[in-house]
Chains A and B, each alone.
Chain A
Amino acid sequence: MKIAGIVLAVLLVLVLIFGAKAMSIRNELVTQQEAIRAAWSQVDVALQRRADLIPNLVETVKGFAKQERTVIDSVTKARAALLGARTPRERMQANAALDSALGRLLVVVENYPQLKSSENFLRLQDELAGTENRIAVERRKYNEAVQRYNTTIALFPNNIVASLFGFQRNDDYFQTAPAAREVPQVKF
């Protein structure tokens, strides 16, 4: 009777210790999932910022090169598509489309030396380049957050806790499309 009591007490202590450890691991995993969500929203902020810049850019280009209707319209359409996209995957696709539309616009701008050298346009170009860089940086940070989570979840003893509470591997990494960094080709 006495022995059984001791065994029970020891078991209880062990369960308490493991329970506490499991809880702290679970909290860590939840924190990291939140970090991924926060990193994604930063990517989203950068995408939104880019969309916000477009009207200003389009107006400036129109002031010098009204006749370039098709190119200007394609940029406006790509922006609308970006604003309409809902899921992360859709948004990234729309962003890639906007990339190529903007690339074509900047090629056209080469034909307008006055526009190219105006301080207003130069600043807009800085804002645009800055926003593109922000998107790249925030994507990298997002990927880092996802990777950190995936590593944490795979390590012992976290993997036991993770499967116990149903935490799964997250494979929503951003792949940089090789085309995104290429200079658009001019076709005649």
Chain B
Amino acid sequence: MKRFLHIGLLWTATVLSAFAYDFSALQPDGYISDYANVIDARTEQALERYCRAVESSTGAQIAVLTIPTLHGEPIEDVANLIYRKWGIGKKETDEGVLLLLAIQDRRSRLEVGYGLEPIIPDGYAGSLLRRMRPALKQQRYGEAVAVAVQTLAERIAQRKGVTIQQPVPHTRRARPGAGFPVGPVLFAVFALLALLGGRSRRRGLAYRRHGMGMDGLLAGLLLGNVLGRGMGGFHGRSSGGFGGFDSFDSFGGFGGGDSGGGGASSSW
């Protein structure tokens, strides 16, 4: 009985984690938060450095977020929620912009803070998103993001009459799912252990009733799922070397900026 309860709880936890999604719980992972794991590590690090230079020379903050799915929510609502939650841009100026890509939904949005609305009008935001389409269609996500960030940064810099002291991010073709697949590997390990465990027990009848195989499998499923999710944000770090920690240290969060829903949405 207790075992059934145990399995039941595990099952509920897995199901709940798959459906109820709280976007406000997402935390920024530097300027570039690649939670869909579609930007290769080198491009991500280059962009991270570039965005830092953009902030120090123009005062504006550019944030990029990729997520696997919108869980059925309108992209405008998700983008505004996250923009305000993270507070992109400085509090006094609200000069920030958030580029959001929902990979499975094939939706993109550029959310513009109050302060950048005169520099990035909605029509310009829309045409920028439309220009990203060909690269996105070919799954060259890193390249699409790098070009978009650079275009935005140069426009902001030009309007403010400054230059960005940082080379343009070098782009490489992004391989989808380039990071180390932590979740599936863990799942496989647990599944293997469970199977082996089940087989060895089958020899002794006394152990048979305990049937740990199924429990182990479920635990593996859950653990693999949770760890895979949790580590998703760190893929650039784990596969890309030291650069990630450096940027983790110097990224002090965004500035409390606000957005009134300006910007544009598109799909690819």
A residues touching B (Cβ–Cβ < 8 Å)? Answer: 42, 46, 119, 122-127, 129-131, 133-138, 141
B122, B125, B261, B265: the one contacting A137 at CB < 8 Å is B261
**B80 close to A130 (CB less than 8 A):** no
**A137 close to B127 (CB less than 8 A):** no
Contacts of A136 in B (CB 8 A): 76, 261
State in angstroms the CA–CA spacing of A136 and B124 once bound together. Answer: 21
**A127 close to B260 (CB less than 8 A):** no
B123, B125, B127, B260: the one contacting A138 at CB < 8 Å is B260
**B123 close to A134 (CB less than 8 A):** no
A119, A124, A125, A130: the one contacting B262 at CB < 8 Å is A130
Closest CB in chain A relative to B118 CB, distance in Å: 12
Closest CB in chain A relative to B228 CB, distance in Å: 33
**B260 close to A134 (CB less than 8 A):** yes
Query: A interface, by DSSP: helix, strand, loop or mixed?
Result: helix
B8 interfacial contact with A, CB 8 Å: no
State in angstroms the CA–CA spacing of A127 and B124 once bound together. Answer: 9
**A137 close to B260 (CB less than 8 A):** yes
B121 interfacial contact with A, CB 8 Å: yes
B122, B127, B260: the one contacting A42 at CB < 8 Å is B260
State in angstroms the CA–CA spacing of A132 and B256 once bound together. Answer: 24
**A119 close to B260 (CB less than 8 A):** no
Contacts of B261 in A (CB 8 A): 130, 133-138
Q: Given A123-B126, A126-B122, are A134 and B262 neighbors across the interface (CB < 8 Å)? A: yes
State in angstroms the CA–CA spacing of A130 and B263 once bound together. Answer: 6
Contacts of B121 in A (CB 8 A): 127
B130 interfacial contact with A, CB 8 Å: yes
**B260 close to A46 (CB less than 8 A):** yes
Closest CB in chain B relative to A173 CB, distance in Å: 18
State in angstroms the CA–CA spacing of A124 and B130 once bound together. Answer: 14
**B260 close to A129 (CB less than 8 A):** no
User: 13 A-B contacts, Cβ less than 8 Å apart?
Assistant: A122-B123, A123-B122, A126-B125, A127-B121, A127-B123, A129-B264, A130-B126, A130-B263, A130-B264, A133-B261, A134-B261, A137-B259, A137-B261
State in angstroms the CA–CA spacing of A135 and B122 once bound together. Answer: 14
Closest CB in chain A relative to B107 CB, distance in Å: 13
Contacts of A119 in B (CB 8 A): 127
**A123 close to B123 (CB less than 8 A):** yes
**B80 close to A126 (CB less than 8 A):** no
Closest CB in chain A relative to B86 CB, distance in Å: 16
A123, A130, A135: the one contacting B127 at CB < 8 Å is A123
Closest CB in chain A relative to B24 CB, distance in Å: 14
CB-nearest residue of chain B relative to A126?
Answer: B126
Q: Given A131-B122, A133-B76, are A126 and B262 neighbors across the interface (CB < 8 Å)? A: no
**A130 close to B125 (CB less than 8 A):** yes
**B80 close to A137 (CB less than 8 A):** yes
Contacts of A137 in B (CB 8 A): 80, 259-261
Given contacts A133-B262, A138-B261, 11 further A-B contacts (CB under 8 A): A122-B130, A123-B123, A126-B122, A126-B123, A126-B264, A127-B122, A130-B122, A130-B125, A130-B262, A130-B263, A133-B76
Closest CB in chain B relative to A108 CB, distance in Å: 21
State in angstroms the CA–CA spacing of A131 and B261 once bound together. Answer: 8
Closest CB in chain B relative to A35 CB, distance in Å: 13
Contacts of B127 in A (CB 8 A): 119, 122-123, 126
Contact code string B59-80 (vs A, CB < 8 Å = 1, else 0): 0000000000000000010001
**B260 close to A122 (CB less than 8 A):** no
Contact code string B95-135 (vs A, CB < 8 Å = 1, else 0): 00000000000000000000000000111111100100000
Contacts of A123 in B (CB 8 A): 122-124, 126-127
Contacts of A130 in B (CB 8 A): 122, 125-126, 261-264
State in angstroms the CA–CA spacing of A133 and B125 once bound together. Answer: 14
State in angstroms the CA–CA spacing of A39 and B86 once bound together. Answer: 21
State in angstroms the CA–CA spacing of A122 and B125 once bound together. Answer: 11
